[in-house]
Amino acid sequence: MCRYPFLEAAKEWMRKQDISPLDAFYEHDGMLEIIRGLFDEALSNVEVSTVLKHDNEEILFIYPWLKILLSFLDMPKVVYKMANLLSKHFGSKLDEEKYPHDLVNICHDQGLKVHLLDDGNTLQIRTVLLPFRMYFTDFLPVAVSFKSPAWKLVNRVIKNGYVYLKKHDLARILEERVKQEIIEVMDWEQNQELLDRIMADPLIKPFFKELKAKCKEKVKQFKQWDDNIPVNTAAFPPCINAILEKNMNGQNLAHSERLFLTYFMLTIGQSVDEVLELFKQQPDYNEKIARYQVEFAAGMHGKKTKYKPHNCAKLASLNMCMKDHPKFTNKECTNPRFEFKNPLTIYRRIVRYQEYTQRMEGGTGETGEGDGKKENAKD
Amino acid sequence: MSKLLKKLFYTYYKDIDAGKLLPRDFKRREIGVMLWDKRGMVRHKGFLEKSELSNFIITNAPRHFYHSASLYKSPWIDNMAHKGYYGCDLVFDIDCDHIDTPCKEKHDLWKCKQCGLEGNGLHPKVCPECNHAVFESKGWLCDTCLEKSKSETKKLVEDFLNYDFGIPLDQLHIIFSGHRGYHVHVLNDAFRQLSSESRRELCDFITGTGISLPQIGLNVGSKMINGFTLDDTGWRERIVKYLLHAVQDIKKGKNSLGFEKILVTCISHNAEVLMERIVNKKRNWTLEKVAMGNWTKIIHQLISEARCEIDVPVTIDTHRLIRAPHSLHGRTGFKVVPLAWDELDDFDPFSDPIVFKGKEVMFSTTQRVKEIRIGEEIYGPFEENTQVKIPLETAVFLACKGVGVLS
Ligand SMILES: [Zn+2]
Ligand SMILES: [Zn+2]
């Protein structure tokens, strides 16, 4: 339990300790050091932390504090970086868990209805063992949350209502949970009273100020990385959707299509790994080459330039503009009131518009009618 | 005209056992109807008493009668956000309207709303004349269409819902829609809490959307191809089964999956080898003289044959209304018939749902009428503005279809 601070059981234990957040600092010296180290790691894209010691109670105190600090810092990019670090970190630890039973217990703690099969019922596909299973209705939300071909139900091993999973799958599911949990701090309401107390504390106030300054500085550095808002697939422009569909169908992408897709995805905040995940669809996928190319595009090699996605004119010249394609076209792209020069602008505009309408309407749309038809349909 | 039809519908609703018209958990359902003399839908109705609902139906004798798939705290509130959503039954719709059957070329028409261009079959994506994409369709139906709907329904129930998802057949209620297809309701409350996104993911499985060959472990592209065996599950197993079927079919000199010529040659040249490997569960699918590109084509064709053509928006939209079982369909005069799984095979959609049987009556066409089978007989084709003497059930059908009037 004390290895995984995101567990309900861990949180419950913390509640029982009944230690106010500020007191925790004083009772556990070294905490500030670890937190400082974690921010450093997160901001430099580390994926497995070396400052966090596994099997150490300290993390139970640090984890809630990290979230509080992230919420006070109020810098989305920093939140995403930290979410990435912690999720990858715990993901790799989970992957190393020896006992399948422990993993199942962790899943249950997280409300995931995972069953461990006894040896006789385990499925095996070629050399891969699939000792766990979930009922498909429990798996569907998981598949949806990943938004990746590898997790689509259609590409999964399913038998008699159960989706069969390997150990690494469970680690990935939990990893994603950690990520989401940390991202959620952005929705928190600011606890002004606690902030005031921090700012009045002789030890923590300078620490917090220093942290804030460092984050600000770093964030400025990756300015061109853009807003790092969560990727909203529903807002993709037609040109991107067309490439994604081709990719989804396993069709070979042209070089320019790969480049454009890479630049676009990186700019809207996907990680190198997430972009690579897409290219795994490609029939000639080669992890080493693809990784180098994507990392290059991300400015991690060579002249360290980060590239911007092509603009609309360039796309049109490459026959990659899908504005007039009957299947992919959308209203924003063809709206005569706005002339877009770059697909990124369209993406951002749709994202903002969707957020706006969601806030205004609170969600549900009213549609159609039965025989399963829309109101004006003929049946 | 509609007065006469309304009268007929009234006689049906007046005599039917009121219990039959009640949807499951009717107090929690939104009820919607379309009337004979008003355009649009009367919806957001809710009834707490059995008798109120049946009185509402009898007095209105509606042209169409629907209920929500969802359950609400207050189904009568007309703002979706305030209805108090409890959950939604999992339902599927199969309608040959969405399926490209060869007979559509013969009996369907489309007309471009912009320039008036007309054509046969399903309308194109954009008008070849003016590039607009708004069409008016005039659909007809025939045995081929309804057979296709039935076979897709069987595929959905047997191959997907029962076999892959393990849902027992007695939890699957099949309903003839009264027109061109079937609905399948999953009678298991455990599915009611599925989100729209989860429902979409489920639909993607059924329609084979997003299958990634590398993800399911079929690596084509190199010179080797490693395939699946009958011991695999889900789509892997489905692909092998369809391949086996295709090989057997082509061995018999048939091509019921409609492969292009070159692919037929690929399969027929290797039929024996393929059969042996499938039967002996070998994963090596590499074949001499079959290019990987052709293998990929074969597999994609197998997938498109194995997928089930459900109407996806019906399943994912949790605020939709669906046709009430035992009600009458206002475009055919046919009954919406609930069917047990073992009744589906013998069900005749042009005969069994007939409600208004009777002596011959005079019927005047207002447009050209394509031929149609009602009961055991085929009627038509009839020219525009002619008087014909046909049995009541056929006249009701044609009047509901809007191609003429009972006189
Ligand atoms: Zn036109
Ligand atoms: Zn037909």
SS3 of A24, please? helix
B139 pLDDT above the threshold of 80: yes
User: Does residue A172 have a pLDDT over 80?
Assistant: yes
Residue type, B323: R
**Partners of B94 in beta bridges:** B182
Question: What is the tally of structural domains in chain A?
Answer: 3
User: Given 3.40.50.300, 3.30.70.20, 3.40.5.50, 3.40.50.720, which CATH number is that of B356-407?
Assistant: 3.40.5.50
Angle at B92 between CA B88 and CA B95, to 5 degrees: 140
Which amino acid is present at B165?
F
The reply to whether omega before A5 is within 30° of 0 (cis) is no
d(CA A230, CA B76): 37
The C-alpha of A116 sits at a distance from chain B's nearest C-alpha, in angstroms, of: 19
Would A224 be classed as within a structural domain? no
Indicate which of A140, A153, A154 best probes the interface with B, i.e. most B CBs within 10 Å of its own CB: A154
Of A103, A99, A104, A102, the closest CA to residue A115 belongs to A104
Residue A232 with chain B: CB contacts under 8 Å: none
CA of B347 to the centre of ligand 2 (A): 17
> Over chain A, what is the mean pLDDT?
81
For the residues B306-330, what does the mean pLDDT come to?
94
Residue B2: which pLDDT band, with cuts at 50, 70 and 90?
confident
Name chain A contacts of B220, Cβ cutoff 8 Å. 283
- Nearest ligand (C-alpha, residue B372): 2
Task: With beta carbons under 8 A apart, name residues in chain A contacting B234.
Answer: 154, 156-159
DSSP B348-382: -TTTTT-----SEEEEEESS-B--EEETTEEE--B
Same-domain check for residues A142 and A288: no
Q: State how far the alpha carbon of B182 is from the alpha carbons of A224, A379, B8, B298, B309, in Å.
A: 53, 13, 24, 30, 12
Mean pLDDT within A82-95: 92
Domain match, A86 and A100 both? no
Within 8 A of A364 by CB-CB distance, chain B residues are 80-81, 85, 319
Question: How confident is the model at residue A290, as a pLDDT?
Answer: 86
Please give the pLDDT value at position A357: 67
Q: List residues bridging with B406 in a β-sheet.
A: B363
Q: Does the beta-carbon distance from B197 to A144 stay under 8 Å?
A: yes
Kindly report each contact of residues B296-299 with a partner whose C-beta sits within 8 Å and lies 24 or more positions away, as own/partner: B296/A250, B296/B213, B296/B220, B297/B260, B297/B263, B298/B243, B298/B246, B298/B259, B298/B263, B298/B266, B298/B267, B299/B213, B299/B218, B299/B220, B299/B239
- Does residue A206 sit in the same domain as residue A254? no
pLDDT cut 90: percent of chain B above it: 71
Average pLDDT of the residues in A116-144: 89
Count helices and strands in chain B by DSSP H and E runs:
12, 18
State the pLDDT at residue B361: 95
Of residues A1 and A41, more confidently modeled: A41
Whether A375 is in a domain gets the answer no
φ, ψ for residue B323, nearest 5 deg: -65, 135
Contact of B350 with chain A, judged by CB distance below 8 Å, is answered with no
The residue-averaged pLDDT of A289-312 equals 80
pLDDT of residue A364: 34
A250 interaction partners in chain B (CB closer than 8 Å): 212-214, 296
Question: What is the pLDDT averaged over residues A93-117?
Answer: 93
- How far the first Cα of chain B sits from its last, in Å, is 9
Residue A379 lies in a domain: no
Q: What pLDDT, on the 0 to 100 scale, is given for residue A221?
A: 67
Q: Hey, are the CB atoms on B214 and A361 less than 8 Å from each other?
A: no
Biggest CA–CA distance in chain A, Å, is: 73
pLDDT, tens digit, 9 for 90 and up, residues B340-383:
999 999 999 999 999 999 999 999 999 889 999 999 999 989 99
> Residue A160: its chain B contacts at CB < 8 A?
163-166
Residue of A nearest to B132 (CA): A326
CB contact under 8 A, A158 and B234: yes
Q: Are B80 and A327 in contact (CB < 8 Å)? A: no
Q: Which residue has the higher pLDDT, A255 or B337?
A: B337
Strand partners, A134: A114, A163
pLDDT (tens digit per residue) in A252-286? 687 888 889 999 998 888 888 888 888 877 766 77
Distances in whole angstroms, Cα of residue A273 to Cα of each of A171, A290, A291: 16, 10, 8
% of residues, chain B, pLDDT over 70: 99
Is the pLDDT at A293 greater than 60? The verdict is yes
The more confidently predicted of residues A229 and A294 is: A294
Shared domain for A307 and A251, answered yes or no, is yes
Residue B126 at interface with chain A, using a CB cutoff of 8 Å: yes
Based on its alpha-carbon atoms, the radius of gyration of chain B, rounded to whole angstroms, reads 24
Query: Distance, in angstroms, between B300 CA and closest chain A CA?
Result: 9
Note the pLDDT tens digit of each residue in B58-110: 999 999 999 999 999 999 999 888 999 999 999 999 999 888 888 888 888 88
* Test mutation, B165, B240, B312, B337, chain A, max A CBs within 10 A: B165
Specify whether the CB–CB gap between B180 and B149 falls below 8 A.
Answer: yes
d(CA B343, CA B11): 27
DSSP string computed for A288-357? HHHHHHHHHHTTSSTT-PPPPPPPHHHHHHTT---TT-TTT--HHHH-TT---S-HHHHHHHHHHHHHHH
How much is the CA Rg of chain A, to the nearest whole Å?
23
Given pLDDT bands bounded at 50, 70 and 90, which one contains residue A303? low
In this structure, are A80 and A20 located in the same domain? yes
Contacting residues of B for A143, CB less than 8 Å apart: 198, 201
**What is the ipTM metric for this complex?**
0.91
Tell the residue number behind the tokens 């954009």, with chain if given.
B126
- Cα-Cα end-to-end distance for chain A: 58
A253 in the same domain as A199: no
Residue A80 lies in a domain: yes
Q: Residue A67 to residues A29, A61, A82, A178, A192: CA-CA distances in angstroms? A: 19, 11, 9, 12, 15
pLDDT interval class at A1 (50, 70, 90): low
**Which stretches within B155-291 are classed as H helix?**
196-206, 234-251, 261-269, 271-279
Q: Do A80 and A200 share a domain, yes or no?
A: yes
- The C-alpha of B253 sits at a distance from chain A's nearest C-alpha, in angstroms, of 31
Q: B95, A154: Cβ pair inside 8 Å?
A: no
Q: Do A365 and B190 touch (CB under 8 A)?
A: no
Which among B66, B202, B221 has the least Cβ separation from residue A370? B66
Tell me if residue B32 falls in helix, strand or coil: strand
d(CA A185, CA A76): 10
Report whether pLDDT(A374) > 70. no
Which of B78, B141, B205 should we substitute to test contact with A (largest number of A Cβ atoms within 10 Å)? Answer: B205
Residue B288 has pLDDT above 60, yes or no: yes
Mutate which: B38, B185, B215, B317, vs A, most A CBs within 10 A: B215
What percentage of chain A carries pLDDT values higher than 90? 27
Q: Tell me which residue in B32, B81, B320 faces A372 most closely, judged by beta carbons.
A: B320
Cα dihedral B241/B243/B247/B249 (nearest 10): 70
Co-location of A166 and A58 in the same domain? no
* Chain B: closest CA distance from residue A328 (Å): 12
**Cα dihedral value B22, B26, B29, B30, nearest 10:** 50
Cα(B119) to centroid(ligand 1), Å: 11
Q: Is the pLDDT of residue B152 over 80?
A: yes
Q: Rounded distance, CA B143 to CA A144, Å?
A: 39
Residue B190 to residue A162, Cβ atoms within 8 A: no
Closest chain B CA to residue A248: B210
Nearest partner of B67 among B49, B51, B53, judged by Cα: B53
Per-residue confidence (pLDDT) for residue A371, from 0 to 100: 42
Whether B167 has its CB under 8 Å from any CB of chain A: the answer is yes
Indicate yes or no: CB of B214 within 8 angstroms of CB of A285. Answer: yes
pLDDT of residue A44: 81
Alpha-carbon distance of B74 to B338, in angstroms, equals 27
The nearest CA of chain B is from the CA of A100 a distance in Å of 23
At a CB cut-off of 8 Å and minimum separation 6, what does A38 contact? A49, A51, A52, A62, A66, A82, A85, A86
CA gap A58, B114 in Å, rounded: 70
Looking at residue A70, its pLDDT comes to: 92
- pLDDT attached to residue A310: 86
pTM: 0.79
Note whether residue A330 is domain-resident.
yes
Is the domain of A109 the same as that of A39?
no
* Number of neighbouring beta carbons within 10 Å of residue B313: 16
Give the chain B residue whose CA is nearest to the CA of A372. B314
Percent of chain A with pLDDT over 70: 85
Q: If contacts are CB pairs under 8 Å, which of residues 303-322 in chain B contact chain A?
A: 311, 313-314, 317, 319-322
Q: Does B209 touch chain A (CB under 8 A)?
A: yes
Clarify whether residues A241 and A356 are in a common domain: yes
Q: Mean pLDDT score of chain B, rounded to an integer?
A: 92
Instruction: Give the alpha-carbon dihedral of A221, A222, A223, A226, to 10 degrees.
Output: 180
Q: Å from B359 to nearest chain A CA?
A: 28
Which chain B residues are closer than 8 Å to A125 by Cβ?
217, 232
> Are A137 and B198 a contacting pair at CB < 8 A?
yes
Residue A365 pLDDT greater than 50, yes or no? no
Band (pLDDT 50/70/90 cuts) for residue B259 is: very high
Q: Is A158 helix (H, G, I), strand (E, B) or coil?
A: strand
Range of the domain at A116: 94-178
pLDDT at A226 over 50: no
Distances (CA, A) of A127 to A123, A158, B234: 10, 17, 18
Give pLDDT tens digits for B20-57: 989 999 999 999 999 998 889 999 999 999 999 999 99
| Single-letter code of the amino acid located at B129 | E
In the β-sheet with B31-34, what is the strand arrangement from edge to edge? B41-45, B31-34, B64-68, B321-323
- Residues A193 and A70 occupy one common structural domain: yes
User: Does the distance separating the beta carbons of B180 and A280 come in below 8 Å?
Assistant: no
* CATH number for the domain running over B2-92+170-201+312-355: 3.90.920.10
Q: Report chain B residues whose CB lies below 8 A from the CB of A379.
A: 95, 97, 179-180, 331
If you search the block for the tokens 């002596």, which residue do you land on?
B359
Domain membership of residue A367 (yes or no) is: no
CA distances from B92 to B69, B169, B175 (A): 11, 15, 10
